[in-house]
Structure 1
Amino acid sequence: MRIGIVSGVRAELAALLPHAPRTTLRGAPLPVERIETADHALFLACAGIGKVAAATAAATLVHAYGAEHLLVIGTAGSLGAVGRGPFLITEAVQADFGAMRDERLTHYTAGCWPIGPARAEAFRAADLPDLGLPHARIATSDLFVECGVHAARVRDALGATLVDMETAAVAQTAALLGIPWAAIKATTDDADGASAGDFTANLAASARAAAHAAERLIAAL
């Protein structure tokens, strides 16, 4: 299988199979690394942080390298998730798509008209082998959350326990292209006033935890 792997931070990709030989491919608009495993060809792309970057990386992996399955790996903020993970993401929803009404954001399903009765449906991940990981719904936006009040609003409005800046964008890209997706995330922070420092302090360990779980998933596919 040809698996496209997306992250927002290069350290998250570097943590995956760190001792495996990598080939840098430069035929597409952004650099892509290739790793060969016994059963799969892995294509790794990091276009930067945020939804546009993640969607661009995902689309590049599909169209330029024939990825048949998309996998997001890396870190996230916690909206009340129990423990640091890693977590298997079963649903992803965009947290900054909708309509502004009465000084608040009314959430809608990404890609739909943000008019009329409000409904925000999550993108569902592919059915995967059981790795014994806790499951989570993740909310994605172009915001690095350092505000507990905003974090609580997102959690309460969308039923998410994690927040990041990539997964729902990749999930929407996969839905538009008709291919399966999955995501594994470990948390670095609690999406509050301490998030910036906590992210920096915990990035390496959390990235490695997510990558190790992703290695198990890849081996099981």
Structure 2
Amino acid sequence: MAHILILAALPEEADALFPGSGERVGGLFAERRLTVAGHRLGIATCGLGKVNAALCAGALAGNADLLLMTGTCGSLGAASGAYWIAEALQHDYGANQPGLFRRYRAGEWPIGEAGEAHFSAMADPGLGLPHARIASGDSFVSCPDAAADLASLGATLVDMEVGAVAQVSARLGKSWGAIKAVTDDANDDSAGDFHANLVRAARVAGQATERLIAMI
């Protein structure tokens, strides 16, 4: 029996996964515990941003065999729907140089030659979802120019948490994975689109995550 910690930034995203089931427990983070397909699951609402995601993952991952994240994201040119996050990077970690912001892998020295900035997820077990690289940072992207900059990093999705969960997992020596569904196009309409599509997209990601749990 594997112990799997699943993080979601918002209550709507956490509640969209195995809705209405499990036992709610108190603590620093709202968490729901249940057993599915022979696995012990903890579904935690971590809150928005990299610090909340890292704190939640670090606080609750002690006995976990695998860290997962479910929820929503913005698109940097990707079509709507759910995605398997194959790679994650933190777009706001790096070095400010004259006329240039160079990205480095989060946690490494942001000095000298920059290598690969991303963290790689666990192998896709065969969900059939399109793969994506996600750029995570502590800002809600609703600007086409900012979106184009992030797309230049090879990212097709943007959020505020997955990159931090990937970094924590690497530091703890644990595997990680993430499934995200698109709410908006990281443009001038993003704030309204996000709220309009949050519940629907959260359930799309939740259903794909439920399939993932059954396959592990």
Equivalent residues in 2 for 1:62-211 (5 A)?
Answer: 62-63=61-62, 66-81=63-78, 83-156=79-152, 158-211=153-206
Q: CA deviation at 1:57?
A: 1.2
The TM-score normalised by the length of structure 2 is 0.96
2: CA distance, partners of 1:7 / 1:110? 21
Aligned residues: 215
CA RMSD of aligned residues (A): 1.1
| Kept after mapping to 1: 8 A contact 2:103/2:117 | no
Q: CA shift at 1:186, angstroms? A: 0.4
Give the gaps of 5 or more residues in structure 2: none
In 1, Cα distance between the equivalents of 2:142 and 2:29? 30
Identity across the alignment (%): 49
Contact preservation (8 Å) 2:183, 2:198: yes
Equivalent residue number for residue 18 of structure 2: 17
Amino acid at match of 2:25: L
Give runs of ≥4 in structure 1 deviating > 2 Å.
28-31, 118-121
Cα distance in 1 for residues equivalent to 2:101 and 2:134: 18
Alignment gaps of 5+ in structure 1: none
Distance across 1 between alignment mates of 2:117 and 2:96? 18
Is the contact made by 2:93 and 2:105 (CA closer than 8 Å) also made in structure 1?
yes
Q: Matched residues in 2 for 1:189 and 1:38: separation? A: 33
Per-residue CA deviations over 1:127-159 (Å, capped at 9, x if unaligned) read 131011100000000010011101101110x10
Cα offset, 1:103, TM superposition: 4.0
Q: Which amino acid aligns with 2:53?
A: A
Counterpart for residue 32 of structure 1? 31
Q: After the TM superposition, which of the residue ranges 137-146 and 121-130 deviates more from structure 2?
A: 121-130
